[in-house]
Amino acid sequence: MPRKKRSEGERAANGESTIYLGSDGRWHGRVTMGIGDDGKPDRRHVSRKDEDAVKDAVKELEKQRDNGTARKPGKGWTVETWLTHWVENIAAPSVRTTTMVGYRASVYKHLIPKVGAHKLHKLQPEHLEAAYRKMMQGGLKASTAHLAHRTVRAALNEAVRRRHIVINPARIAKAPRVEEEEIIPFTRDEAKQLIRAAAEIRNGTRFVVALALGLRRGEALGLKWEDISLSWKHGCPKGNTCRQTLQANECPNRRGAGTMRIRRSIGQHNWQHGCTTEKPCGHQFGAFCPKRWGGGLVVGEVKSRAGRRTIGIPHQLAEQLDAHREGQEVEREQAGDLWEGGDWVFATPIGRPTHPTPDNRSWKALLAHAGVRDGRLHDLRHTAATVLLELKVPLPAVMELMGWSNAAVAKRYMHVTSEFTAAIADQVGNHVWAVDDEGEEDDEDGPDGVPVPA
- Residue-by-residue pLDDT tens, the chain, 454 positions: 344 444 444 455 556 888 999 999 999 999 887 777 667 787 888 899 999 999 999 998 888 887 766 666 656 789 999 999 999 999 988 888 778 888 998 999 999 999 999 999 899 999 999 999 999 999 999 999 999 999 999 999 999 998 888 899 999 999 988 887 889 999 999 999 999 999 999 999 999 999 999 999 999 999 999 999 988 888 888 878 788 788 877 787 777 778 999 999 887 766 666 776 666 776 655 666 777 766 678 788 887 888 899 999 998 999 999 999 999 999 999 999 999 988 999 999 999 999 888 999 999 999 999 999 999 999 999 999 999 999 999 999 999 999 999 999 999 999 998 888 888 899 899 889 876 655 555 554 544 444 444 4
- Tell whether 242 and 98 lie within a shared domain: no
Residue 276 lies in a domain: yes
Residue 10 lies in a domain: no
Q: Are 273 and 281 in contact (CB under 8 A)?
A: yes
pLDDT of residue 442: 53
pLDDT of residue 310: 94
Residue 63 lies in a domain: no
Q: What is the pTM of this model?
A: 0.69
Domain total in the chain? 5
Q: Domain boundary residue among 129, 146, 171?
A: 171
- Tell whether 351 and 314 lie within a shared domain: yes
Residue 25 lies in a domain: yes
In our burial notation (b when 16+ CB lie closer than 10 A, e otherwise), range 188-208 reads: eebbebbbebbeeeebbbbbb
**Of 105, 117, 183, nearest to 145 (Cα)?**
105
Q: What is the CATH number of the domain that holds 98?
A: 1.10.150.130
- Tell whether 196 and 335 lie within a shared domain: yes
- Tell whether 242 and 349 lie within a shared domain: yes
pLDDT of residue 279: 65
Residue 12 lies in a domain: no
- Tell whether 128 and 230 lie within a shared domain: no
pLDDT of residue 10: 47
Residue 4 lies in a domain: no
- Tell whether 197 and 83 lie within a shared domain: no
- Tell whether 378 and 430 lie within a shared domain: no
- Tell whether 28 and 133 lie within a shared domain: no
- Tell whether 373 and 252 lie within a shared domain: yes
- Tell whether 44 and 123 lie within a shared domain: no
Q: Which domain holds residue 371?
A: 188-263+302-385
- Tell whether 294 and 307 lie within a shared domain: no
Residue 69 lies in a domain: no
Q: What is the CATH number of the domain that holds 339?
A: 1.10.443.10
- Tell whether 197 and 342 lie within a shared domain: yes
Residue 68 lies in a domain: no
